[in-house]
Amino acid sequence: MDPLAALLDLADVAPALTRARDSVDAAFAHRSLRRHGGRVAAELSLRAAVASAALEGHPYDLEEVREGTVTDPVVQGALRIAEGLGGLVDLWPRAPRQVLARLHVLAARGVVPADDLGRLVSGAQRIDALTALVAGNQRTPPLLLAAVVHAELLTLRPFAGPAGVVARAAARLTLTGRGFDPRGLLAVEVGHAARRPEYVGSAGAYATGTTDGVRSWLRHCAEAVTVAAGELTLVGDRVLAAA
């Protein structure tokens, strides 16, 4: 049985996830991905990193980051995450706790003392439960699982420093590894940043553990994915226009 199946019965959650899936399928049919997929993916990866750093309280202009003039260590960590995610996809369902530690090393280098990199500072028991949920789970719908992974890590903040960057990266790994976004094209962080008040509010609501709080978070995540699908289409249009 799917351990999270009951969440699909919450009001409007299943339809919201379906709408998000439909928007993603439409975006994946964009003509730019046939011949310029690499350029589209690189641009979306950059935008995801900039958005994730901004959500962590380190906002910078996209063009400044593109030009390499931003040395902020949180931004640099988000960029390292974006570059390193592909190499962690296969390991994530087999050794999720090891991957979380690796993500923290990438995200927090230069932000926290070297001895704290990859080390849990809180929530060890709940992290064990979360990694057990991730390991080998082929039953939970990918977007639902990614949303729960994301929210649990935001709630626990188990690592020092930019723990939110780690949470968003783990959610991306879930979507990629489970085949929802096999090419890693969805800059869901952009969707969260575009709806930042809702992101912060629904994450806080989830942390209360109430049914309404969880439902609010899941619906937000579906909307963020829909925004990410629109971002993919926007970038694809620009790449085609420049080709």
- The 3-state DSSP class for residue 112 equals strand
Token output for 35: 């011949």
Of the candidates 2, 239, 37, the residue with the CA atom closest to the CA atom of residue 144: 2
Q: What CA dihedral angle connects 91, 96, 101 and 105, to 10 degrees?
A: 40
pLDDT per position as a tens digit, 49-77: 999 999 999 999 999 999 999 999 999 99
Beta carbons within 8 Å of 130's beta carbon, 6+ residues apart: 96, 149, 152, 153
User: Residue 109 and residue 115: Cα distance in Å, rounded?
Assistant: 10
> What are the DSSP calls for 165-195, one per residue?
HHHHHHHHHHHHHTTSSTT----HHHHHHHT
Backbone dihedral angles phi then psi of residue 3, each to the nearest 5 degrees: -65, -15
pLDDT per position as a tens digit, 197-239: 999 999 999 999 999 999 999 999 999 999 999 999 999 999 9
Architecture label for domain 5-242: Orthogonal Bundle (1.10)
Mean pLDDT within 144-151 = 98
Token output for 2: 């799917």
pTM equals 0.96
pLDDT of residue 123: 87
pLDDT of residue 200: 98
Of the candidates 121, 175, 186, the residue with the CA atom closest to the CA atom of residue 149: 175
pLDDT of residue 71: 97
Letter string b/e over residues 23-42, b meaning 16 or more CB atoms within 10 A of that residue's CB: bbeebbebebbeebeebbbe
What residues does each domain of the chain span? 5-242
Mean pLDDT within 125-137 = 94
Place of tokens 């991730």: 134
Are 89 and 177 contacting, i.e. CB atoms less than 8 angstroms apart? yes
Mean pLDDT within 27-52 = 97
Place of tokens 């930019």: 162
Mean pLDDT within 89-102 = 97
Tell whether the model's pLDDT for residue 34 goes beyond 90: yes
pLDDT per position as a tens digit, 117-128: 999 998 899 999
